[in-house]
Amino acid sequence: MDYLQIKGAKNLEGKIAISGAKNAALPIIAMTILAKNRVKIQNTPQVADIKTLIKLLQNLGATAEFKDSTLQIETLNINSTKATYDIVRTMRASILVLGPLLARFGHCEVSLPGGCAIGARPIDLHLSALEKMGAKIEIKDGYVIASANDGLKGANIVFDKITVTGTENIVMAASLANGITKIFNAAKEPEVVQLCEILNQNGVKIEGIGTSELVIYGTNRSLINIDEITVIPDRIEAGTYMCAVAIAGGKVVLENINPDHLVAITSKLSDMGVKFEFGSNFIKVISDGNLKPCNIITTEFPGFPTDMQAQFMALACVADGVSSIDERLFENRFMHASELSRMGADIKLNAHIATITGGKLNGADVMATDLRASSALIIAALRAQGITRIHRIYHLDRGYENLESKLTAIGADIKRLSERVNYES
């Protein structure tokens, strides 16, 4: 197994090109199940989660070619509708195939994703919405067995909670349904918006895109022709590098981004003392490393994203004062707190609220526990005195493309080493 070794306390300077958004590419790849042509997807990040979903589709009979950042998928040959446990258990977002498979074939079996490190994360909202659309759902031997022999029917869906992949699943299912589906309390994340825009531009009329009320006019199981797609930039990757510069100090230009998707993040960082220069598709981040404390409540877009909570906790560890973070979306998303404490952080947890008193960080051996928690440890390590070794970095490989080379290019001292190699002192 590999680990990352980081020597802290270095200024960062240079440029980073941001990759395509993993969380936008995943539903787009699932959406190819609705296509009657070979779909070309540009700016697809080469990260483990994307490769997992491609593998899942290949297991169903699809063909795929993935070179550099161009992915081409043809799903017309799908001859199985069973997404098996061995793949689904490695990535919850595999549940995104449920809606499109059921809509196209009238039957599918998808392994239950189970719990995950950051909380129980049920899929009840996905399932009850599909039932409203006429599906029969049975849970048997760890699988969701869904059928709608005569196809799905348009329905009114009111989500009790805002769910990102739930909205995406139902938008895709509704695209091939018979009749009109209205989704109330839909997610408005940019990744949901891109999925809806692609469908709307390729033969599925969708109204209300970017609002919490979507109206989808189903094609009654007629597959669609999908033009070439370019995945939107990864706002969480961009936010993570902003935090890296904020804590280490320096001047770094982040290229290939959409500043409009980053307002919640840049405005919190501005409050903490970070300076920005904005362009149409780039942002220059300028920091002297002196950070003011922050107060954060995670919420749905356009509010502050839960996927940036861990990274801001790392910043709070060195801020000049007391910060608070209220995690409202997931019940167990503070596992990075105990690892940051190993580096000297002063963090007190009370249910979903963390109180962080800023101070100094020192290098230590720490364990990555989930994708974004891992990036928080990297951010802390960039500021820490001495050497930090971050273990279990397979979590990072799920969602950050070329992380070490991007950080090395802006002056960080970061190496990927094998656990077999003796630690450097």
Residues found near ligand UD1 in the complex (CB under 6 A): 23, 26, 92-93, 119, 121-126, 161, 163-166, 191, 306-307, 329-330
| Minimum distance of ligand UD1 from residue 92's CB (angstroms) | 6
Q: How far is the CB of 424 from ligand UD1 (least distance, A)?
A: 34
Nearer to ligand UD1, 23 or 311 (CB): 23
For strands 39-42 and 107-111, give the pairing: unpaired
Q: In the bound complex, what is the minimum distance in angstroms from residue 108's beta carbon to ligand UD1?
A: 17
> What backbone phi and psi angles, to 5 degrees, belong to 331?
-85, -15
108, 116, 243, 317: the active-site residue: 116
Give the position of tokens 């936010």. Answer: 239
At its nearest, how many Å lie between ligand UD1 and the CB of residue 14? 28
C-alpha to C-alpha distance for 139 and 137, rounded to whole angstroms? 7
134: left (phi over 0), alpha (psi -120 to 50) or beta: left
Q: How far is residue 277's CA from residue 279's CA, in Å, rounded to a whole number?
A: 7
Which residue lies nearer to ligand UD1 by CB, 52 or 355?
A: 52
The minimum distance between CB 274 and ligand UD1, in angstroms, equals 23
Active-site residue 108, yes or no? no
As a whole number of angstroms, the distance between CA 179 and CA 176 comes to 9
What distance in Å separates the CA atoms of residue 242 and residue 58, rounded to the nearest whole number?
36
- Distance between CA atoms of residues 140 and 110, nearest Å: 10
> CA 234 to CA 401: how far, in whole Å?
10
Nearer to ligand UD1, 184 or 423 (CB): 184
- Distances 405 to 12, 412, 416 between C-alpha atoms, Å: 13, 9, 10
Q: Toward ligand UD1, which CB reaches closer, 199 or 318?
A: 199
- CA–CA separation, 269 vs 293, rounded Å? 10
Residue 294 Cα distances to 100, 260, 314, 416, angstroms: 41, 21, 11, 32
For 41, the token pair is: 């997807």
Number of H-type helices and E-type strands within the chain: 14, 24
Torsion, CA 182, CA 186, CA 192, CA 196, rounded to 10: 20
Q: Is the peptide bond before 302 cis (omega within 30 degrees of 0)?
A: yes
> In angstroms, rounded to a whole number, what is the distance separating the alpha carbons of residues 263 and 280?
13
Name every residue whose Cβ is closer than 8 Å to that of residue 101 and which is 6 or more positions away in sequence. Answer: 33, 60, 81, 83, 108, 110
Q: 163 near 129, Cβ under 8 Å?
A: no
- Closest CB to ligand UD1 among residues 123, 193: 123
Rounded Cα gap, residues 39 and 62, in angstroms:
11
CB of 401 to ligand UD1, least distance (A): 16
Is the CB of 78 or the CB of 98 nearer to ligand UD1? 98
Cβ-contact 130, 170 below 8 angstroms: yes
Smallest gap from Cβ 125 to ligand UD1, in A, equals 3
Q: How many CA atoms lie within 13 A of 268 on its CB side?
A: 27
Closest distance of CB 303 from ligand UD1, Å: 10
State which residue, 121 or 153, has the beta carbon closest to ligand UD1.
Answer: 121
Task: Indicate which residues carry an active-site annotation.
Answer: 116
